[in-house]
Structure 1
Amino acid sequence: MSAIRLMFTPQVRPVALAAALLLSGCALGPTGEAPATPRPAQYAVEATPAALGPQEARQTFVLGQRSVPQWWRAYGSPDLSAWVEEALRSNHSLAEADRNLASARLQLRAQIDESLWPTIDAVGQAQRQRALGLPNIGPTTNLYNVFAGQIRASYTFDLFGVERFANSALAAQVDAQSYQFDAARRAVAANVVISAINAASLRAQVADTERLVALADADVQELQRRLALGAVSNDEVLSARASAQSLRASLPALKAQWQGARHALAVLMGRTPDAAPPDLDIASLKLPEQVPMTVPSELLKQRPDILAADAALKVAAAEQALATAEMFPSLSISASFGQSGFSWAKATSGAGAVWGLGASLTQPLFHGGALRAKRDAAKEAYLAAEAHYRQTVLNAFQNVADSLVALTQDADALQASAAARTASEQGWRNAQRRAQLGAYPASAARAGERQYLNARLGEIRATASRMNDTATLYQAMGVGYETPAHAAQAPIPAGGDSPPVR
């Protein structure tokens, strides 16, 4: 932009400055482009291993691959896949968000149409009025009718982009809302998977705990018989009875968690709690063997929360430009044509033709500093949106890193608990065979079974945690983001987004 020195009087300086800005193409606000953010080589403090777990429960990470949207199919359960798809169709919170998004798109369409075209209205008027007459001239009051019919049109020229920036801000808000809707869909899918896994896990835990209670009751009964024979003391019986009651006391809370998981699953699917689907068998669920791993630089393009923060940044940029544009002149024209008269006959005759044509140019001069304060507030809001974007990116990296660490620890825990369950099962089977041969007492077989059941409870919990954390990682990765069907599609008037800053 070439430097031109002109002398302006105080009266014409605002208009001249506005014209200079218009002709030079200087921007009224920032571009709204996402600021530079860190690009870590890896997500967590420690590098993610290429594979986790033993061969029979191995999970590999494919770096640089984007996962398919329907990631829940990797669990190998047709029932689970059907439940997720039912939830995506029938969840009422998603339906509400979908309708709100559709409403926002229509509001954007209405605002754009209103700013692009002139407004034309037909006005009909019929009035009977009473007016005071002039003193000492004629009657003291006058009664008369007024009939009028007009076509009125008006149009405001968008000299400095007030309407354009307002449209850009609203379009970016619709984009942010569409990303939030997509994030809600992904959250519902993940919650259905996690709720189904938790329900299956808790059902298995309840069954094993009930068996533990039955074994403890059998121990109490045997000790009572031995007490009657004088073979054991009463303290041993009381201790066994206390252990059995402690186990029994843990069942109600476990059952409440189980039923709560089933109820949550039903509501996610748009059903009433009593219509919850039957539990899955956790042993029938397949641990996803290959988990796609998006590189950090690509994560920014597919996480809906990051995309929503980017859209919010564009909203703030457009609003800053809008606040600046409101400080410059606005030009409006209006026209009207119609018929008017004091009687219906005169109003419809050629003598009743009326018309008007006008134009107005408004330049804000003094608003008590409100316009400048509004522009400064918009600048601060833009800086806040930048900070929010940066923090959202860091939170996303942390979310993925935590999920990877949890999966690593889950694999170790599952491997150890599986080994404990295998060893305890072998010991129990040996004790059971010896008890059948009379070499071991029945209590020894029950003790071996108790050890096995406790080890299996640990394995069940570790299996559920690993499957749940895998679902969390899928969600954290953004799951191969694709533009939602309801994303803003309405066109923006000529000029598009804010021009670049100079």
Structure 2
Amino acid sequence: MRNPASIPSRGLLTAASLALMALAGCSVGPNYQRPSAPPAPAAYKETPPPNPPGGDWKQATPADAMAKGKWWEIYNDSQLNGLEEKVAVSNQTLKAAYEQYQQARQQVSVARAAYYPTLSAGPSVSRTKESYHQPNTVPGQTSYQYNTFTIAGQASWEPDLWGQVRRTVEEQRATAQASAADLANTELSLRSELAMDYFELRGLDSQKRLLDNTVNADTDYLKLTQVRFKGGVATDVDVAQAQTQLDTVKAQDIDIGVARAQYEHAIATLIGVSASTFTLPFSPLDLTLPVVPTGVPTELLERRPDISAAERRTDAANAQIGIAISAYYPTIQLNGAGGFESTRPGNWLQGPSALWSLGASATELLFDGGRRHALTQSARDAYDQQTATYRQTVLNAFQEVEDELAALRILNDEAEAQTRAVDSSRHSLQLSTNRYKGGVTTYLEVLTAQTTQLSNERTQTDIVTRQFAASVSLIKALGGGWSTAQLPEKF
């Protein structure tokens, strides 16, 4: 006689054998290899500019320490440092990016859960009345009502024989890493935008200081023409021209406030406070341009979070190919159930009330009208698309660095030329003023010299502001001190 205990033993043996098969199962589809990036040059074409007057730019070498962590501190501006610290605490865009990253992390756990069986258990109680006229009615039986007390558990498991779960976990892990890089890129963009807005605002303060000084100077010129007019050595035309010049500069001085207010409001939004309650004190841009080491181009691939995000999404796209290919293989399902069932509570949990079942099934899809082939090809196309996106991101990164290096070099040359122009215009105004006081020329010559000097001085101030904005853009283009070592490896 067959030993009933041998039946569950054989079932357990079968389940164990399938489990070992699952552990030794293969992962179909291509294993990921990082796509080749466009070849990096040995050095950047545009080198950092030579030292500007009062500056400390230098050409970077591979041994230079790269910007790390709080890169904005290289500007040695305590007010900027304080504003940057508030970005991580209060900026809502950054918070949204962080929560998106946390969602991606949880998706890794969701995918990993498919490695394990699903278990469920619970009791049930029912009261049943059957029909007296059913086909299996026993003659003479008077009761067709009974209770059923059941407590049972079920287990279901699909072994990962073909690596579908492994590829899914691989995909979600790469996607989570891409989301982490997106978070870093968002933070870099917000912080660099704050720094640029801050320097633009301080540049406007420099412009206002210049215009305030010009208003004072033009007021003195107006008084000079009025005195000369009263003395009979100047005409009322001279007075009118001096008054016009003064009023024009006053209007320009007032107009600076429009752009300054807008930058102030933008900074308030970036640090997460109401624009109505935020004010930055007047502070002209009198800082020294800092050192921004560029390193070598090959390092850029490891320092740009957007490049890393594109590369991680390429990995995720590669895993999708394996997931699509796994649909060609049969699905193996293991099922089991066990518990107790009785019509009376008194013997509900006794041995004779026990029940169990073990089973396995295998399903192979024989025909789907080409659906699996189309999905697999679509996954391959998506991988090729993401590879192209990754390579284009690398090219864009090299372009951005070269653009900012070129901007700094050209602005440096322009600043030197503009300094000479300012000196010349000041000398010209002094000469014209002396000629006017000596009565050998009209006030029109002075007016022309005044306008030229103001224009040159405003251009000089604007160049300084653009140099600081370009230095921030260069830091952003270089990755802001971020590196792929900061990507999370475990989830």
Partner in structure 2 of residue 86 of structure 1 = 86
In the alignment, is residue 122 of structure 1 matched against residue 121 of structure 2?
yes
What aligned pairs does 1:32-431 form with structure 2 within 5 A after superposition?
Answer: 32-43=33-44, 47-49=45-47, 51-57=49-55, 59-64=57-62, 65=64, 66-112=66-112, 114-129=113-128, 132=131, 134-135=133-134, 137=137, 144-210=146-212, 212=214, 232=235, 247=249, 250=252, 253-276=255-278, 278-279=280-281, 281-288=283-290, 290-427=291-428
| 1:197 and 1:282 in contact (8 A); partners too | no
- Taking the aligned partners of 2:214 and 2:439, their CA distance within structure 1 comes to 23
Q: Which moved more, 1:191-200 or 1:414-423?
A: 414-423
TM score, norm. by length of structure 1: 0.80
Paired residues of 1:101 and 1:486 also in contact (CA < 8 A): no
Partner deviation per Cα, 1:383-407 (whole Å, 9 max, x = no partner):
1111111111111111111111111
* Distance across 1 between alignment mates of 2:59 and 2:68: 14
1:329-386 C-alpha deviation (Å, 9 max, x unpaired): 2222121211123443453343322211111112222223222211111011011111
For 1:135 and 1:88, the matched residues in 2 are separated by 73
Shift in Å, 1:49: 3.9
Partner of residue 497, structure 1 = none
- Higher mean alpha-carbon deviation, 222-231 vs 198-207, is at 222-231
The SS at the match of 1:340 is: strand
Distance 2:192 2:258 in 1: 22
Question: Aligned partners of 1:483, 1:230: CA distance in 2, in Å?
Answer: 75
Deviation per residue, 1:436-461 (Å, 9 max, x gap): 99999999877765544332211111
In the aligned structure 1, how far is the partner of 2:446 from the partner of 2:239?
A: 19
Given that 1:434 and 1:440 are in contact with CA atoms closer than 8 Å, whether structure 2 keeps it comes out as yes
SS of alignment partner, residue 58 of structure 2: strand
Gap runs ≥5 in structure 1: 1-21, 491-502
Shift of 1:240: 6.8
Moved more, 362-371 or 139-148: 139-148
Contact residue 47 and residue 406 of structure 2 kept, 8 A: no
Asked whether the 8 Å contact 2:150–2:339 carries over to 1, the reply is yes
Range that drifts further, 364-373 or 259-268: 364-373
Shift of residue 216 of structure 1?
Answer: 6.2
- How far apart are the structure 2 equivalents of 1:110 and 1:216? 72
CA distance in 2, matches of 1:152, 1:41: 63
- Alpha carbons of structure 1 residues 178 and 239: separation in structure 2 relative to 1, 3 Å: same
For 1:426 and 1:402, the matched residues in 2 are separated by 36
- % identity of equivalent residues: 24
CA 1:30–1:379 in structure 2 vs 1: closer, same or farther (change >3 Å)? farther
When residues 435 and 228 of structure 1 are mapped into structure 2, their CA distance, relative to the original with a 3 A threshold, is: closer
- Supply the distance in 2 between the matched residues of 1:472 and 1:316 (Cα, whole angstroms): 31
Name the Cα RMSD after superposition.
Answer: 3.8
Secondary structure of 2:59's partner?
strand
Q: 1:325 to 1:152 in 2, by over 3 A?
A: same
User: Counterpart of 1:293 in 2: which secondary structure?
Assistant: coil
Distance in 1 (alpha carbons) for counterparts of 2:219 and 2:347: 106
Letter in 2 for 1:71: W
Q: How many residues align?
A: 463
Q: Residue 475 of structure 1: SS of its match in structure 2?
A: helix
Partner of 2:6: none
Q: Which moved more, 1:276-285 or 1:163-172?
A: 276-285
- 5+ residue gaps, structure 2, are 1-22
SS of corresponding position for 1:152: strand
The whole-number CA distance in structure 2 between the counterparts of 1:144 and 1:439 is: 127
What is the Cα deviation at residue 224 of structure 1?
Answer: 12
Distance (Å, rounded) in 2 between the aligned partners of 1:229 and 1:159: 106
Deviation at 1:302, TM superposition (A): 1.3
Name the CA distance, whole Å, in 2 between partners of 1:225 and 1:476. Answer: 58
Spell out, residue by residue over 1:410-437, the C-alpha distance to the aligned partner (whole angstroms, 9 max, x if none). Answer: 1122212222223334555677789999
CA distance in 2, matches of 1:34, 1:133: 74
1:23/1:356 CA distance change after superposition, 3 Å: closer
Deviations 1:2-30 (A, max 9, x none): xxxxxxxxxxxxxxxxxxxx999685125
Instruction: Return closer, same or farther for 1:133/1:215 CA change in 2, 3 Å cut-off.
Output: farther
